Amino acid sequence: MIVTRLLLRNWRNFIEVDIPLHERTYLLGANASGKSNLLDVFRFLRDVSKSQGGGIQKAMHDRGGIQKVRCLHARNDPEVRIEIHLSESLDTPSDWRYILAFRNEARGEHRISVSSEEVFHNDDRLLLRPDKEDTEDPARLTQTAMEQIQANLRFRSLAKHFEGITYLHLIPQLLKFGDRIGGQLLEGDPFGQGFLERVAREPKHIRDSRLKKLGESLSWVVPHFHELRFIKDRATGHPHLEARYVHHRPGAGWQREDQFSDGTLRLLALLWILYEGDSLLLLEEPELSLNNSIVQQIPLLFQRVNRDRKKRPRQILTSTHSEALLSNEGIDPRGVLLLEPEKEGTSIRTINEREAALLRDGFSVSEVLLPAIALETAKHLSAI
Amino acid sequence: MSESVGRKIATVTGWNIIEQPRISNGKSKLQKNFSKYCQIAKREAVLLIVDMDRPSKACPCPVALIEEWTGGNAIPPGMFFRIAVREVEAWLLADHEAMRNLLGGQPKLSSDPDNMEDPKRELLNLLKRVKKYVRDDVVRVSGSNLFQGVGYNAVLEKWVNDTWSPERAAQRSESLKRAFYRLHG
């Protein structure tokens, strides 16, 4: 399944959003324009749908309550609304539609209360809340149907899809110095601390074949990179990745992940995760710590890993600032979204006709769209 | 792409390539920096390859393009300023042996790529024929339109480096032939 459309009202810094999503979508925008806030909608849906420790109350509590999530510019409308469309592929009409709207309870404990929840499958309505029982027992509205096994039977596949949404913003130092930092692992491991455990959990034959393919992809973009292997430390039992480079003396040892460059480590984790799941993958600035010539090939790496997967391609939503990444002229411009800060909140749009014409003339996405974003940033700076 | 082609030609003709970080990319930036390249050319040889692109009123032929860039000034002897007619893709299409190697089978190839309306389009059309494994990298089909894929540059640059021969291609492209023999000295 892939997400084909997203509509929002009063979510963080977006008053109103209605955007299409593609197999690979790139989010472009100035700093603080709300790229991460947009990715957070999908993480929120995942948190609501999680079979363990999920639910709307917890998901909202973890975000600091509805007052942190609701758009500041929404003065009269206290409700947050999310609508998401999914289909089997981009070319087929949307099969699934999920709508979730909520607000704070007016009285009592001021818990989050679902003001409407609907599910459609091929235009058949499978769920409409509040229903009669909700009216009789308003406490029921503190939970979504999506989070309840008893209630989501007819749209379980949707709940599973949401639950499988993955967010990755790997911070190499957390992985390299994990032992010494001793940090606690956040739910869903957004910063990739538990990446090695993730690798260790896979059955050996899958892990080995995946690492072999990853090694091939990496050797193709990381100079001198040769091969990759997984080992467990004999003394401590900790999982490790090791790599060998061709320029090493013959017989030179393998390098452990704490010796990998930050960029290599990020790339490795990113590609691994691409192989792993089936649901939407959210990536935050995959270009960080990478050389431009590698960044330019990130769209091709996505493409190749998706092709090598035995299953259908994984949908990817990427936030980026990278001129190099967007200079790849093969990027499908239909999958580019622009965040534009306005007086009241941020709006999101696809490319317009003029920009489409420029792209047809052979300019790259970076040449056509980044100047506008730079201008936005410059206006900001000149105000300081 | 022009950079890889330039490197290949320079290697074949026995130039000693100094690894120079890419200074600028794209025709307009090259033009902007043209006088700086001419400065460099006073000290060392510079190979500059520029696509002719579609002839326009202001720039109907390679001579006019050179005139436009130089502003009528003399080009220093170390500057090898070559124009690919219409674009560097025509030079790629001119090596039939390498093209067949890339595409497989017996594709219909033009014997006069310099006179093609749109060599890049022609190349993309031909690339539709490659095995699926590579095809999805190099071309992107959107509706009835054909665009370059995310791996277009990566795949073709490797092919230029490994397989494409400027000597063979020069037999079918006048503009490449001139460039090649000028460099050969």
Over residues A318-335, the pLDDT tens digits come to 999 898 899 888 899 999
Position A161 scores a pLDDT of: 95
Query: Using the beta-carbon criterion (under 8 Å), do B152 and A331 form an inter-chain contact?
Result: no
Q: Tens of pLDDT along A92-119?
A: 887 999 999 999 988 888 899 999 999 9
Interface test with B, best of A329, A351, A358, A367 (most B CBs within 10 A): A329
> Positive or negative CA dihedral for A296, A312, A4, A168?
negative
B-chain CB neighbours of A334 within 8 Å are 142
Query: Using the beta-carbon criterion (under 8 Å), do B153 and A329 form an inter-chain contact?
Result: yes
Position A11 scores a pLDDT of: 95
Q: What is the mean pLDDT of chain B?
A: 87
CA distances from A34 to A29, A38, A73, A282, A320 (A): 8, 6, 14, 14, 12
Helix (H, G, I), strand (E, B) or coil at A10: strand
Query: Using the beta-carbon criterion (under 8 Å), do B140 and A332 form an inter-chain contact?
Result: yes
Chain A within 8 Å of B3 (Cβ-Cβ)?
no
A16 dihedral zone (left: phi>0; alpha: psi -120 to 50; beta) = beta
Residue A380 has pLDDT above 70, yes or no: no
Position B24 scores a pLDDT of: 56
* A303: nearest CB among B25, B26, B150: B150
Angle, nearest 10°, between helix axes A204-221 and A262-276?
Answer: 130
Rounding to the nearest 10 degrees, give the CA dihedral for residues A162, A164, A167, A173. Answer: 150
The 10 Å Cβ neighbour count of residue B145 is: 9
Residues A174, A181: contact at Cβ < 8 Å? Answer: yes
**Low-confidence winner among A123-127, A261-265, A372-376 (lowest mean pLDDT):** A372-376
**Low-confidence winner among A11-25, A32-46, A236-250, B98-112 (lowest mean pLDDT):** A236-250
- Each as own residue / partner, the long-range contacts of residues B124-132 (CB below 8 Å, 24 or more positions apart, any chain) are B124/B148, B126/B93, B126/B99, B127/B103, B129/B103, B129/B104, B129/B105, B130/B102, B130/B103, B130/B104, B131/B104
Position A183 scores a pLDDT of: 67
Q: Tens of pLDDT along B69-92?
A: 998 888 888 899 988 888 899 999
Position A367 scores a pLDDT of: 86
Q: What is the mean pLDDT of residues A210-229?
A: 84
Residue A263 has pLDDT above 70, yes or no: yes
**Low-confidence winner among A106-120, A247-261, B54-68 (lowest mean pLDDT):** A247-261
Q: β-strand A124-129 against A24-29: which pairing, if any?
A: unpaired
How many angstroms separate the CA atoms of A301 and A294, rounded? 10
Q: β-strand A316-320 against A281-284: which pairing, if any?
A: parallel
Position A310 scores a pLDDT of: 76
Position A134 scores a pLDDT of: 94
A191 against A27, higher pLDDT: A27
- Domains contained in chain B, number: 1
A-chain CB neighbours of B25 within 8 Å are 327
Residue B25 has pLDDT above 90, yes or no: no
- CB within 8 Å of B79: residues ≥ 6 apart: B37, B38, B41, B45, B46, B48
Residues A144, A82: contact at Cβ < 8 Å? Answer: no
- Percentage of residues in chain B having pLDDT higher than 70: 96
Residue B21 has pLDDT above 60, yes or no: no
Position A361 scores a pLDDT of: 77
- Percentage of residues in chain A having pLDDT higher than 70: 96
How many angstroms separate the CA atoms of A370 and A72, rounded? 27
Query: Using the beta-carbon criterion (under 8 Å), do A302 and B150 form an inter-chain contact?
Result: yes
Q: What is the mean pLDDT of residues B142-160?
A: 89
Position B167 scores a pLDDT of: 93
Residues A125, A239: contact at Cβ < 8 Å? Answer: no
- B146: domain range? 1-185
Q: Residue A364: which pLDDT band, with cuts at 50, 70 and 90?
A: confident
Chain A within 8 Å of B33 (Cβ-Cβ)?
no
Query: Using the beta-carbon criterion (under 8 Å), do B137 and A303 form an inter-chain contact?
Result: yes
Residues A265, A288: contact at Cβ < 8 Å? Answer: no
Give kind and range of the element (H or E) at residue B146: strand B145-148
Chain A within 8 Å of B26 (Cβ-Cβ)?
yes
B104 dihedral zone (left: phi>0; alpha: psi -120 to 50; beta) = left
pTM for this entry: 0.86
Q: Tens of pLDDT along A300-311?
A: 988 888 888 777
By residue count, chain A amounts to 384
Query: Using the beta-carbon criterion (under 8 Å), do A303 and B147 form an inter-chain contact?
Result: no
A320 forms beta bridges with: A28
A134 against B24, higher pLDDT: A134
